[in-house]
């Protein structure tokens, strides 16, 4: 019985720490860092987690439009993304993120920006813009307690 109580006393702080750990970025800088890591690791799931709700809606709308394209348009897009045209008909948000990451940092403005150093942050209420040393700016939005990348302006 004493062993059980001792184990419970030791385990309780661990449970509290784990349950209180943030599940997403609590500052715009942390959100930028998480976005940077998703690009660095080519982590589609990580990139998807960094997206604001409006960004996810925008991607869903874009992927719906892919499925409505005529054959020539879809063939051209599939050549750019280097995927079969039929796959473009049913892309998920994560699939879209994976394709974005597959294009590489050099051909993606956001990926390029995440390789740069932060030189400024303009924060106004639930919105923030992070400026990096090559002049690019990335918008972030606060959703609940967490900051997310807002790609709706791109």
**Strands (DSSP E) found in the chain:** 118-124, 127-132, 137-143, 146-149
Q: Is the pLDDT of residue 14 over 50?
A: no
Lowest mean pLDDT among 51-65, 73-87, 137-151: 73-87
In contact, 39 and 101? CB cutoff 8 Å:
yes
Q: How far apart are the first and last CA of the chain?
A: 61
pLDDT tens for 68-119 read 999 899 999 888 888 898 888 889 999 999 988 887 655 688 989 999 999 9
Q: What pLDDT, on a 0 to 100 scale, did the predictor assign at position 43?
A: 96
pLDDT at 21 over 80: no
Q: Tell me, what DSSP letter sits at residue 117?
A: P
CA angle 38, 44, 49 (to 5 degrees): 70
What are the boundaries of each domain within the chain?
24-153
Model confidence at 1, in pLDDT bands (50, 70, 90)? low
Give the C-alpha distances (Å, rounded to integers) separating 36 from 5, 47, 59, 110, 144.
43, 9, 19, 9, 22
């Amino acid at each position: 019985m004493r062993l059980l109580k001792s184990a419970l006393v030791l385990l309780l702080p661990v449970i509290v720490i784990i349950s209180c750990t943030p599940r997403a970025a609590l500052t715009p800088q942390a959100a930028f860092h998480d976005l940077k890591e998703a690009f660095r690791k080519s982590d589609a799931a990580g990139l998807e987690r960094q997206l604001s709700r409006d960004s996810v809606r925008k991607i869903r709308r874009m992927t719906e439009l892919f499925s409505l394209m005529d054959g020539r348009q879809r063939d051209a897009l599939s050549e750019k993304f280097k995927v079969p045209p039929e796959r473009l008909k049913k892309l998920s948000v994560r699939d879209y993120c994976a394709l974005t990451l597959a294009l590489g940092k050099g051909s993606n403005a956001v990926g390029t920006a995440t390789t740069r150093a932060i030189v400024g942050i303009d924060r106004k209420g639930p919105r923030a813009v992070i400026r990096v040393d090559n002049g690019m700016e990335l918008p972030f939005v606060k959703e609940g307690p967490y900051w997310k990348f807002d790609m709706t302006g791109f």
